[in-house]
């Protein structure tokens, strides 16, 4: 009886296709709701497009179109200007899960597993019953190939329903069209618009164009023409190797000597270090690696930990950089202050990683809400599972009251007009699941994120402290300006003379820069003098602007002039030491107005008396 049952059970055993597995477990890949599925599909297609463009040295120009087909179905189109895909590879790239070129490469990239875009094809055919359409062209004088395909989930192989050559005006690129069940939302961070905005921040070299179901077009322009540094592939570092992996490498290497194996198949091991490792492990350096026993492999692994080996190279990483994070935040947010930082590289289980952070404050950000945390890994936004992510946990560990922000309950995410950005660049980001939405709580990574965020938070604290000082100065100046005129009026009444100009007195008391404009009549002209005196204790450099309806005459010194809408803007560059005085002079015809009061640019309004200040360039650390 037992034998019969065993035979029956044996007959039921069969191999499970990876496509068949994900067909029944699509939530693992991020297709667990109609809203998230649409966003995930855009994310996977755009990630592939960005990687392809960067690898071929092309500034990305990516089109995202979302069209409503019926109540619950949308047509998604993603088109790029990348290098295209050769004809023979198109079906496998889009119609076979776990098919890709980056899984075995030790370097930073957005996609690695070869699951993302084929998972989109799988979800689309499951929910709409329609095939995926793909256009690809590899060069200006090449033919454009068009495919319609689905995935055979039993075999995890593509099934080509149509293949033909089509006209396409792109010189090169790839276009994918899919229909799928979905829900389109816009008014929140977890949306296609939110994804595009976040992607534009950390990919400032890319232009993204989003056409929404309403027909509205949103263009996220690039702010740099410079492509990110292309990461180089590196060999595995011995620090992160596990026993099973080492045994596999020893078994299948083509090297005939152990020292040759160590120097050629690991990073940062030279001939001298290889001999030292062999000596520590008590193994003949000339032995054939394939002949090593499990015990010898274990001793070799222990030797890796005791011999000093240089940390892995960071050439495999491509951080965003402090400047471009700042530009990305400036482009997408109207704020008063930005601070950014890029940490030195660290290592986790042999994988080098770099943490970057940015913080933006004020402007139009909501004041009464929780701080918005923008999480990124290898330049990809992490929109979901915020509560389970190392980046969030690092932010929550910080006592934000020390940095002048509200933190209800004394812990957790702070409150106020703030955006916090974190970015982890690594050859192997330790995600918590295949959907790649949260970074695992690896102590080394959490610590580095916390240090990076604290770094930019200190910049914010310094900025807020300066703002408090400036606010007190302004309050003091307003009081002085209310009291002094009354005193001056009384003095002039008693003395029987004219009322004195109080501006120089206010500037001296406040330690400000005085900008005082006067005009004297002479024949048919007015001689205008702008007196500048620095009552502060430091040198000041700024631009002095004087608008006029006509060109000014005989200016001393000569200004730079720009014109717009019939008006002239006369601009002088001023550099003035403490207690020094300078004058600007020019003439205008008597019938012409001497012009409006001058403006200053590049100096805070609270530090100037007698002139208005143009908005200063956004503060940064």
pLDDT in tens, 343-375: 998 888 778 899 999 999 998 898 888 899 999
pLDDT tens-digit series, residues 265-319: 888 899 999 999 999 999 999 999 999 999 999 999 999 989 998 877 788 898 9
Fold agreement (18-212, 339-345+352-465): no
- 545: confidence class by pLDDT, cuts 50, 70, 90: very high
Q: What percent of the chain has pLDDT over 90?
A: 48
Q: How far is Cα 253 from Cα 290, in angstroms, rounded to an integer?
A: 7
Residue partners of 557: CB distance under 8 A and separation at least 6 = 572, 584
State how far Cα 371 lies from the chain centre: 17
pTM, two decimals, is 0.77
Sequence-ordered list of residues with C-beta below 8 angstroms from that of 411, at least 6 positions apart, any chain: 396, 399
The b-or-e profile of 507-524 (16+ CB within 10 A means b, else e) is beebebbbbbbeeeeeee
- Each residue of 460-482: pLDDT tens digit? 999 998 888 777 877 777 777 77
Which pLDDT value is given to residue 30? 65
* Separation CA 152–CA 302 (nearest Å): 46
**Using CA atoms, how far apart are residues 207 and 228, in angstroms rounded to an integer?**
14
Residue 134 has pLDDT above 90, yes or no: yes
pLDDT band, residue 324 (cuts 50/70/90): very high
What would the DSSP string read from start to end of 52-90?
HHHHTT---EEEEEEEE-SSSEEEEEEEE-S----GGGH
More confident residue, 501 or 24: 501
Q: Which of 182-196, 236-250, 394-408, 584-598 comes out lowest in average pLDDT? A: 584-598
Which CATH number fits the domain 18-212, given the four candidates 3.40.109.10, 3.30.565.10, 2.40.50.100, 3.40.50.2000? Answer: 3.30.565.10
pLDDT at 175 over 80: yes
Map out the domains of the chain as residue ranges.
18-212, 238-306, 339-345+352-465, 503-620
The pLDDT tens digits for 75-90 are 999 999 999 999 998 9
Across 68-72, 215-219, 439-443, 587-591, least confident range: 587-591
Q: Please give the C-alpha separations between residue 135 and each of 73, 415, 417, in angstroms, as whole numbers.
A: 22, 47, 44
In contact, 600 and 582? CB cutoff 8 Å: no
pLDDT range class, residue 259, cuts 50, 70, 90: very high
For residues 117 and 488, the model is more confident at: 117
The answer, yes or no, to whether residue 496 has pLDDT greater than 50, is yes
Beta bridge partners of 274: none
Residue 104 has pLDDT above 50, yes or no: no
Averaged pLDDT, 97-112: 61
Instruction: State the fold for domain 339-345+352-465.
Output: Ribosomal Protein S5; domain 2 (3.30.230)
The two three-digit tokens of residue 263, written as one number: 């120097």
For residues 491 and 288, which has the higher predicted lDDT (pLDDT)?
288
What is 503-620's CATH number?
Answer: 2.60.40.2960
Query: Is the CATH number 3.90.1200.10 carried by domain 238-306?
Result: no
The tokens 């540094």 sit on which residue? 229
> Given pLDDT bands bounded at 50, 70 and 90, which one contains residue 32?
confident
- Work out the average pLDDT over 423-438: 86
> What is the pLDDT, as a whole number, of residue 522?
74
Which pLDDT band, with edges at 50, 70 and 90, does 617 fall under? low
């Amino acid at each position: 009886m037992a034998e019969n049952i065993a035979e029956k059970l044996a007959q039921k055993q069969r191999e499970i296709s990876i496509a068949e597995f994900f067909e029944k477990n699509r939530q693992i890949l991020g297709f667990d709701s109609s809203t998230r599925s649409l966003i995930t599909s855009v994310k996977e297609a755009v990630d592939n497009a960005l990687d392809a463009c960067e690898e071929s040295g092309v500034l990305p120009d990516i089109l995202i179109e979302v069209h409503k087909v019926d109540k619950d179905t949308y047509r998604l189109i993603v088109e790029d200007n990348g290098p295209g895909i050769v004809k023979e590879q198109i079906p496998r790239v889009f119609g076979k899960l776990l098919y890709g070129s980056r899984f075995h490469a030790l370097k930073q990239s957005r996609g690695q597993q070869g699951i993302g875009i084929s998972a989109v094809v799988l979800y689309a055919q499951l929910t709409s019953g329609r095939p995926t359409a793909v256009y690809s062209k590899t060069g200006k004088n090449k033919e454009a190939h068009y495919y319609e395909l689905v995935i055979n989930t039993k075999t995890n192989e593509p099934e080509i329903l149509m293949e033909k050559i089509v006209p396409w005006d792109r010189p090169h690129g790839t276009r994918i069209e899919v229909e799928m069940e979905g829900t389109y939302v816009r008014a929140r961070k977890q949306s296609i618009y939110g994804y595009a905005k976040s992607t534009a921040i950390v990919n400032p070299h890319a232009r993204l164009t989003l056409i929404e179901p309403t027909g509205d077009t949103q263009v996220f322009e690039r702010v740099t023409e410079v492509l990110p540094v292309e990461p180089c592939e590196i060999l595995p570092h011995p620090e992160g190797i596990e026993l099973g992996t080492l045994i596999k490498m020893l078994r299948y290497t083509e090297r005939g000597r152990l020292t040759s194996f160590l120097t050629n198949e690991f990073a940062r091991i030279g001939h001298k270090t290889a001999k030292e490792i062999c000596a520590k492990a008590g193994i003949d350096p000339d032995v054939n690696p394939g002949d090593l026993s499990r015990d010898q492999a274990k001793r070799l692994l222990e030797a890796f930990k005791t011999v000093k080996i240089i940390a892995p190279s960071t050439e495999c990483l491509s951080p965003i950089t402090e400047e471009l994070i700042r530009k990305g935040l400036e482009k997408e947010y109207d704020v008063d202050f930005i601070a950014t930082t890029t940490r030195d590289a660290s290592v986790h289980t042999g994988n080098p990683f770099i943490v970057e952070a940015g913080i933006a404050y004020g402007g139009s950000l909501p004041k009464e809400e929780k701080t918005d945390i923008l999480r990124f890994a290898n330049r990809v936004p992490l929109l979901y599972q915020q509560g389970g992510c190392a980046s969030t946990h690092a932010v929550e560990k910080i006592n934000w009251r020390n940095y002048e922000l509200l933190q209800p309950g004394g812990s957790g995410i702070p409150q106020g007009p703030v955006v916090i950005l974190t970015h982890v660049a690594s050859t192997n980001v330790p995600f918590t699941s295949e959907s790649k939405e949260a970074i695992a709580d690896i102590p080394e990574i959490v610590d580095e994120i916390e240090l990076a965020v604290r770094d930019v938070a200190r910049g914010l604290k310094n900025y807020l402290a300066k703002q408090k000082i400036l606010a007190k100065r302004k309050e003091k100046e307003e009081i002085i300006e209310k009291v002094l005129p009354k005193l001056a009026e009384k003095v002039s009444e008693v003395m029987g003379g004219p009322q004195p100009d109080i501006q120089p007195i206010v500037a001296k008391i406040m330690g400000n820069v005085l900008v005082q404009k006067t005009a004297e009549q002479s024949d048919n002209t007015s001689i205008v003098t702008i007196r500048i005196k620095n009552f502060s204790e430091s040198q000041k450099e700024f631009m002095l602007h004087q608008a006029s309806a006509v060109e000014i005459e005989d200016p001393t010194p000569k200004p730079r002039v720009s014109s717009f809408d019939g008006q002239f803007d006369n601009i002088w560059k001023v550099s003035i030491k403490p207690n020094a005085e300078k004058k600007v002079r020019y003439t205008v015809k008597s019938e012409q107005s001497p012009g409006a009061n001058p403006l200053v640019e590049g100096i805070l309004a609270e530090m100037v008396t007698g002139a208005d200040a143009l908005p200063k360039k956004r503060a940064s650390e």
